[in-house]
Structure 1
């Protein structure tokens, strides 16, 4: 193939807001702190060190040690947890939902981007320690978003109900799920490894948070990844002042709504609420709303006066859960974090938050778009070479791809652009003549120009249609190849589960990705397995 990568901006899969961010468009400069370059981390380290409450480190490490107490961890992960006690240690963080068996492929890319960036930072700034963090979204309650994954075009769904924070959800019933999934996996060595991994993660742990921690640790623990579940009273104790501010002053709403007004030309990712907090229990996560001088829990009969809810906050901070607007602030308060790594949609909503962070006097992290990857087999590479299609061709919309290849493969030129230009030139001369003779002819001349251009366009479409029929076999093979690489004409990384590729490649899948992905390069990598 002619290239092994394509820029995010040219891939066609990133929003105008993300393209402008990646291009460092000056109109977005006020919405972030520093652009993600290796050199910019020097100032970010200094700022975070000055602004972070280092007293939180002891509490953070104690919580992590408790969460890892029942799990076997690598020496490097243990070393990283201990390092968080000292002031010259900083984190790079990615967050992800608790998708069943990791969900779509980009789960891997997020975490590998995070691990690889910490390695780059250690080389550049050897006086500091850098710890990769996976923040589990244990407090989310949208179970329908995470209760399935796709394997070889089939959807495997965990059929049960959930109303509370998903991290606390029991894994009961996943033994039946594994029986069905195991039949699809087959009996190869790699298939048996996957079955064992699923069993040890989901059948040997009681809740989804513990199961996901085990899974992520099994895949990435050897690289020193530290996994955190922030659904902890001890961690929320450090966040009490910010929760109180949100309840009493609605600072998030005031600042974020002002920022969204600067983004009217883009699609806004999230809109703030007046109070950006939930109330949670094991089977409940509902919004806190302020009505008639009372704090009410939506869809329940629970309500509190100001003094009552502030007393509850002091005694039980674990009952307060940040929403998508507040969660980033929570993360940056409890972690000595330098950079957040996420997908385009995540970075888009982070860009709404800087003024809120400024008001809260918390350092705003560097925002980095995670690595994106297209995994290909040697067989697919050979097909593409034989069909003479490039990676940029394959990233095109399918209709555009087929039309372009039909024109290229045709034995004669079916692109009539040159004839259209010649026709327009001729009518330009004719228009000039009419102005010197009888200007009333102008309307008739224009009508004739439109008619003849339309005739050429119709002829071009008919020629293209005829050539597509003539070249049907080749064009079908091109479309089939694209459909293999872009399931449902979407990104592979958003459709397929890692198990689909692990079946063929085993542990080489993660090691190859780790070896090749460069998080600061801003490109869509094409990696052969």
Structure 2
């Protein structure tokens, strides 16, 4: 049995103001986006989206080929066929190819994008909205994807491969999965684990393995997984990559970064003069232009004419970095919304200038859903202690202080004592002030000394009371570790194996139905 509670952004220190304000007309951050993250904003986005029949034909062809070896699914086939129609649009999320999907928010992002597509389909009949998962197959940060956790135990593997991780052999991951099998069996999610093993066993590459897995778990919802490491798709993006060889994006990103800084926000990304990599076998090397006008990529050197010719003939050898990947996405998909986490959406806010200069419609930015799975007994203990879930976002020592203050009300009078001293001292200052400035300064100094004495007494008493409440503080720490295992927020640490058994049966469908991507906040799933 489960129930849910929803917490607004101002109750939980989870979503930055930049993301929350994207729903608010008139927000200064909306100047860095195109439309607010509302149904009205989404309607404006699909009315402005102009996606050519040529691009639709290429997209349908590539995706059909990528799905050819997967089990047929009616919902997926309908989504694929829909791409040939002019009134079909996508809502997209993206993520790295994490082993066994890695932390829980991988599947939360997908559930969010499916839910948004359903809501749009219901609200705008006559239009088709396809949920898309963009597999980050060209990423090269293997250490970020080679593991997952069950409790505090980490299951990981190594590889001698380098370059785009989507091309790495899937069979290398099987040893890590085998090591986790016994622990997973105890969690009543053996069917999910069987899906994972099957996907990696039957696939040649990591990209294929993740596509098989999300197809198994989310195919009935019509989700499409796209691997953009493809010649034909890159051909559609080649004209913009040609422009980028002359440093097209650099100034636009820096201009947006300056605006963010003026608004008191820290820029999330820093553009390079050329925001492209060169893919060559097992390497992914940054492309840099040299003072003499030539270009280098690792050990390779190209003249200007050579690199432009290389790009024209082999666009699949060129890979956009974090600055241009979103632009690539919007070129090859009829996309109207990107669903992402706080850090992702913040870096998207630096990119609109590139879209405007390229004449590409900018999508609506939508914050993914956030979830916390909490035991009923933990919530009851929290309430008994006079604590709220929001308190657990405080640093540990501050949380302990909050707990002690809830159980030692007299400590709350420390400020009243200080105010009483100030009032009495002010009377003395007023009196002695008439006698001479030196006497008044002396009384003011005495006031400060008195306040410092109270502060020292307060700190010492609080320290003693923390020891007094040691037993109670242990369950406070236990609950905090439940919310922040190993100091990391639960959805960014725990795997599907630890958590989704709570939603059995049909855990992915239940997760999807709990999502409300246009209402930012935190959904707390409370279970017994």
For the aligned pair, the TM-score class normalised by the smaller chain equals over 0.9
Partner of 1:275: 274
Partner of 1:159: 158
Q: 1:27 to 1:413 in 2, by over 3 A?
A: same
SS of equivalent to 1:251:
coil
| 1:87 Cα deviation after fit | 0.8
Within 2, Cα distance between the matches of 1:25 and 1:407? 40
Match of 2:424 among 423, 426, 449: 426
Which sits farther off after the overlay, 393-402 or 362-371? 393-402
Match of 1:259 among 242, 256, 260: 256
Q: Please, what is the CA RMSD of the aligned residues?
A: 2.1
| 1:16 Cα deviation after fit | 5.1
Partner of 1:232: 230
Structure 1 residue ranges without an equivalent (≥5): none
Partner of 1:400: 398
**Are the counterparts in 2 of residues 174 and 202 from structure 1 also a CA contact under 8 Å?**
yes
1:175 is the counterpart of 2:138: no
**Are the counterparts in 1 of residues 133 and 224 from structure 2 also a CA contact under 8 Å?**
yes
Q: 1:423 to 1:22 in 2, by over 3 A?
A: farther
Within 2, Cα distance between the matches of 1:427 and 1:269? 50
| 1:221 Cα deviation after fit | 0.8
Q: Deviations over 1:130-189 (max 9, x none)?
A: 000000000001111111111111111112233210000112333322221112223676
Within 1, Cα distance between the matches of 2:488 and 2:413? 29
Which sits farther off after the overlay, 457-466 or 500-509? 500-509
Within 2, Cα distance between the matches of 1:24 and 1:154? 45
| 1:414 Cα deviation after fit | 4.5
**Are the counterparts in 2 of residues 94 and 111 from structure 1 also a CA contact under 8 Å?**
yes
1:169-248 paired onto structure 2 within 5 Å: 169-186=168-185, 190-191=189-190, 193-248=191-246
Partner of 1:14: 15
Partner of 2:320: 322
Structure 2 residue ranges without an equivalent (≥5): none
Within 1, Cα distance between the matches of 2:426 and 2:160? 69
| 1:527 Cα deviation after fit | 1.0
| 1:122 Cα deviation after fit | 1.1
1:33-432 paired onto structure 2 within 5 Å: 33-48=34-49, 51-186=50-185, 190-191=189-190, 193-248=191-246, 250-264=247-261, 265-300=264-299, 302-410=300-408, 412-432=410-430
Within 1, Cα distance between the matches of 2:11 and 2:416? 27
Q: 1:371 to 1:290 in 2, by over 3 A?
A: same
**Are the counterparts in 1 of residues 105 and 491 from structure 2 also a CA contact under 8 Å?**
yes
SS of equivalent to 2:285:
strand
Within 2, Cα distance between the matches of 1:372 and 1:208? 27
Partner of 1:499: 497
Which sits farther off after the overlay, 170-179 or 384-393? 384-393
SS of equivalent to 2:40:
coil
SS of equivalent to 1:10:
coil
SS of equivalent to 2:305:
helix
Within 2, Cα distance between the matches of 1:393 and 1:25? 31
Q: 1:91 to 1:200 in 2, by over 3 A?
A: same
Between the two proteins, the alignment pairs up a number of residues equal to: 524
| 1:411 Cα deviation after fit | 6.1
Q: Deviations over 1:178-232 (max 9, x none)?
A: 22111222367632x1342122111211100000001111111111101000000
Q: Deviations over 1:6-56 (max 9, x none)?
A: 2234322334544555666733232111110112222111111xx333320
| 1:3 Cα deviation after fit | 8.2
Within 1, Cα distance between the matches of 2:457 and 2:445? 18
**Are the counterparts in 2 of residues 174 and 203 from structure 1 also a CA contact under 8 Å?**
no
The TM-score with structure 1 as length reference comes to 0.94
**Are the counterparts in 1 of residues 187 and 497 from structure 2 also a CA contact under 8 Å?**
no
Which sits farther off after the overlay, 389-398 or 152-161? 389-398
Within 2, Cα distance between the matches of 1:81 and 1:201? 21
| 1:327 Cα deviation after fit | 0.5
The TM-score with structure 2 as length reference comes to 0.94
**Are the counterparts in 1 of residues 187 and 498 from structure 2 also a CA contact under 8 Å?**
no
**Are the counterparts in 1 of residues 4 and 523 from structure 2 also a CA contact under 8 Å?**
no
SS of equivalent to 2:170:
coil
**Are the counterparts in 2 of residues 294 and 303 from structure 1 also a CA contact under 8 Å?**
no
**Are the counterparts in 1 of residues 372 and 525 from structure 2 also a CA contact under 8 Å?**
yes
Partner of 2:451: 453
Within 1, Cα distance between the matches of 2:446 and 2:186? 70
